[in-house]
Amino acid sequence: MLITTHTGNANIVNLPRAPDNIGLHGLFRKQAHEHLTGGRSLFFEGDEAAYVFEVLEGVLRILRMVADGRRVITGFLYPGDIVGLSLGGRYLYSAEAVSTVTVRRVARRQFDFVVANNDRLRPQVFALVSDEMAAAQAQMVLLSCKSAEERLCSFLLSTFRQVGPCGQDPATFELPMGRGDIADYLGLTIETVSRTFTKLIARGIIRIDSISARHKITITRPGKLAQFAGGCEDHEDAPRLSSVRGGRQGCSTHADRQW
Amino acid sequence: MLITTHTGNANIVNLPRAPDNIGLHGLFRKQAHEHLTGGRSLFFEGDEAAYVFEVLEGVLRILRMVADGRRVITGFLYPGDIVGLSLGGRYLYSAEAVSTVTVRRVARRQFDFVVANNDRLRPQVFALVSDEMAAAQAQMVLLSCKSAEERLCSFLLSTFRQVGPCGQDPATFELPMGRGDIADYLGLTIETVSRTFTKLIARGIIRIDSISARHKITITRPGKLAQFAGGCEDHEDAPRLSSVRGGRQGCSTHADRQW
DNA sequence: CGATTCATTGAGAGGCTTCAATCAGCGTGG
DNA sequence: CCACGCTGATTGAAGCCTCTCAATGAATCG
C-alpha cells in the first residue's frame, strides 16, 4: 500500500491544531516519507493498529463500511494531523488517500513508550484526543438535526478554515475531495450535495468559476454562509442556564459521551 | 444543582466495560454520594470541567443544545460509567439525570495527577476514552445512513445489553428514558419513535405489556431485532481482510484503485 | 474519437416531519 | 371524591425534504 519511500529532506509542515505540537511531531522527524496516490489505503478498519501516522501533505479520508455496502466518512485528515491515537488494538476505521498523500509513521509501541515517559508529550496527546472527540460530537450534532443546506454550509466553512485561501482571492479555496466524499461525510447522496451546491450558487452565497475546476470555491457571501451553517455549529459561548429541562434556548456546542 | 449528599454506605456498582476498572473506581471510593433527581443537571456544557464523576445508580443523558432550540443527546451514562475524561478545560456537553441518580466526584486536578503518576491507571483511562470514541463513531454511522426502524432496533439492543434483564423474564428489560430522549438520541422526532415502536410491536418483535408501564420492553423475536439493527452495527468480528483492496464485502462503491 | 469518470439535472416516490387531536396516568384542589 | 390540568405517548393527515432511478453534460485518457 505504500508507494515510495525516501529519507529525510523534510520541509515545513502545517501545525493546524496547536502550536505546541512540535514536540509530538518531533517524534516523526527522522522517519522516512511515504507516498500514497489518490484512492489508495493507508490502513484498513480492523487491522492491527501497529503504527501512528503523521500527515505531511495531501488529504486522507477516514471511513467505515456498513453492511449494505455503503460507506460512512467520519472525518478528513490534513497536513499536520496525527492519526492512530485514540485506539485500542485495532483501527476503528480505514484511512484512504483523497489526493496524493505524504505521511511518516512511527510504531505504536515506540510512540506509546515515548509518550508514557514524557510529561510534556502526554498532555499533547491528550489534547489531540480531546479535539478528535470534539469533532466527533460536532459531527453527531450535524447529522442529528440539520438540513442538507446547513450541512453543506457547515462543511464548506470548516474546510475553508482548515485549508485556508488558495490563490490571490482570500475568499477562494480548494475542496480537496469529490462530491461523493462530501456526500458520505454529510450523510447525504451525491445528487443532494450537487443540488445543494447549485442552490448556494443560485443564491449568490458561493461561486464556482470554471466548470472544470469544480473544486475551487469562492465564498461570495460569508455572512450568509455562516448564518446557514450556524444552525449546527457550536458556539464557544455557552448559553447554559436553567436546570429545568423544558426550556432550551439558543445554541451552543456539543456533547457526546459514552460509557 | 446537587440535591443531597451523604457519606459512604456504598454498595456494589456495575462494571460494564472492563473488569479491570476497579483501579479507577477506587479513586472515588471515599467520596461522598451525591443525589440528583430526574431532570436536574450535573453540569452544563461550557462549564469549567472541574470534576470527574462516577455514576453509581440511575441514568444520565449527555446532551448539547443547538441554535434552533433543539437538543441532541449524544449518549447515556449508566452505573459504573465515568464521565469527564476526554475533555479540555470545559465540558463539551451537559449532563442531566434521566431518573434519580447517585454519583461520586473527584476533582479533575486530583484525578489527572493520580492518573499521570500511575502506570496501572493510565491505560485504563486510555481504554475508556477509546471506548468513548468507538461509541461516537458507531453513533455517527447510525445517524448517517440508517432508517428509523434500524435506529430504534439498534438502540433497543444496545440498551438491553447495557441494563440487562429486569424481572423474571430474561427477555424483558426497562428503558430508563422517555420517548423524547430516545428521539433526540436517534435523530428522530417523538412521533416517529412512537410510530416505530408501534410497528415493531405489530410485527411481533417486541412487546409492551402494560400501557402504564411503557418502559418495560420484552423482546419477543431477538433474531429479527438483531437483524434489523444489524444494518448499522459494527461487528465485533473485524471483517478485515486483505490489504488488497478491491473487494470488500458487500460494499459497492469506492474502489480503491491503484496500488 | 470512444470510453470512463465525475458532476449536474429532472421526475417520481417514499420516509420522516409537522401540525393537530386524542388518550391514559397522575397530581392538585375544590 | 371527582373534576381539572399537566405530562407523556399515541395516532392521523398533509407536506416537504431527500432518496432513487435515469438521462445528460463536461473533462480526462488511451
SS3 letters across chain B: CCCEEECCCCCCCCCCCCHHHHHHHHCCCCCCEEEECCCCEEECCCCECCEEEEEEECCEEEEEECCCCCEEEEEEECCCCEECCCCCCECCCEEEECCCEEEEEEEHHHHHHHHHCCCCHHHHHHHHHHHHHHHHHHHHHHHHHCCHHHHHHHHHHHHHHHHCCCCCCCCEEECCCCHHHHHHHHCCCHHHHHHHHHHHHHCCCEECCCCCCCCEEEECCHHHHHHHHHCCCCCCCCCCCCCCCCCCCCCCCCCCCCC
Strand pairing partners for B71?
Answer: B65
User: HSE of B182 in the Cβ direction (CA atoms, 13 Å)?
Assistant: 24
Q: What is the grid cell recorded at B10?
A: 456504598
pLDDT at B22: 62
The per-residue pLDDT for range B119-164, each reduced to its tens digit, is 899 889 988 999 999 999 999 999 999 999 999 999 999 999 999 9
In the structure, how far is the CA atom of residue B253 from the C1' atom of nucleotide C5, in angstroms?
13
What are the residues whose beta carbons fall under 8 Å from the beta carbon of B186, sequence distance 6 or more?
B142, B143, B148, B151, B152, B155, B193
B77·A259 Cβ contact <8 A = yes
Q: What is the grid cell recorded at B115?
A: 492518573
Contacts of B178 in chain A (CB under 8 A): none
Closest residue of A to B232, CA-based? A66
Contacts of A249 in chain B (CB under 8 A): 65, 69
Asked if strand C comes closer than 7 Å to A136 Cβ, the answer is no
Instruction: Check CB contact of A71 with chain B, cutoff 8 Å.
Output: yes
pLDDT at A247: 28
CA B254, CA B240: separation in Å to the nearest integer?
16
Distance from CA of B12 to the nearest CA of A (A): 18
A67·B240 Cβ contact <8 A = no
Instruction: Name residues 15-34 of chain A within 8 A of B (Cβ).
Output: none
Instruction: Check CB contact of A11 with chain B, cutoff 8 Å.
Output: no
B131·A258 Cβ contact <8 A = yes
| Angle formed by the axes of helices B222-230 and B148-163, nearest 10° | 120
Chain A and chain B share a number of CB contacts under 8 A equal to 251
Distance from CA of B115 to the nearest CA of A (A): 11
> Within 10 Å of residue B258's Cβ, how many Cβ atoms?
10
pLDDT at B126: 87
Chain D bases near protein CB atoms (7 A cut-off)? 7-13, 17-22, 26-28
Asked if strand C comes closer than 7 Å to A197 Cβ, the answer is yes
Spatial CA neighbour of B126 closest among A64, A107, A111, A139: A111
Distance from CA of A168 to the nearest CA of B (A): 34
pLDDT at B17: 40
Between B119, B132, B143, which is nearest A258 by CB? B132
pLDDT at A259: 23
pTM of the model: 0.83
Phi, psi of B92 (to 5 degrees): -85, -10
pLDDT at A231: 59
Nucleotide nearest to A208 (CA to C1'): C7
Phi, psi of B212 (to 5 degrees): -80, -20
Which H or E run includes A258?
none
> Within 10 Å of residue B20's Cβ, how many Cβ atoms?
12
Instruction: Check CB contact of B2 with chain A, cutoff 8 Å.
Output: no
Instruction: Name residues 108-167 of chain A within 8 A of B (Cβ).
Output: 116, 119, 122, 126-127, 129-130, 132-134, 136-137, 139-141, 143-145
Asked if strand C comes closer than 7 Å to B220 Cβ, the answer is no
pLDDT at A22: 62
Is B191 in contact with B78 (CB distance < 8 Å)? no
Is A81 in contact with A13 (CB distance < 8 Å)? no
Q: How open is the CA angle B226-B231-B235, to the nearest 5 degrees? A: 75
Instruction: Name residues 38-67 of chain A within 8 A of B (Cβ).
Output: 38-41, 44-47, 64-67
Chain C bases near protein CB atoms (7 A cut-off)? 6-11, 15-20, 24-26
Distance from CA of A205 to the nearest CA of B (A): 21
Distance from CA of A114 to the nearest CA of B (A): 13
Between B17, B74, B135, which is nearest A254 by CB? B74
In the structure, how far is the CA atom of residue A254 from the C1' atom of nucleotide C24, in angstroms?
36
Nucleotide nearest to B208 (CA to C1'): D9
For A40, A158, A205, B209, the CA distances from A220, given in Å and listed in that order, are: 34, 16, 5, 58
pLDDT at B184: 98
Q: Which residues of chain B have pLDDT under 50?
A: 1-21, 232-259
Q: How open is the CA angle A36-A129-B1, to the nearest 5 degrees? A: 155
Burial zone of B198 (CB within 10 Å; 0-12 exposed, 13-18 middle, 19+ buried) = exposed
B47·A238 Cβ contact <8 A = yes
What are the residues whose beta carbons fall under 8 Å from the beta carbon of B62, sequence distance 6 or more?
A255, A256, A257, A258, B73, B74, B75, B76, B77, B83, B93, B94, B95
Provide block-wise average pLDDT over 10 residues at a time, chain A (259 residues).
40 38 84 95 94 97 91 97 87 95 96 90 90 94 96 97 93 96 98 98 94 90 93 42 28 28
CA A151, CA A230: separation in Å to the nearest integer?
10
Strand C proximity: list residues 143-182 of B with CB under 7 Å.
Answer: 147-149
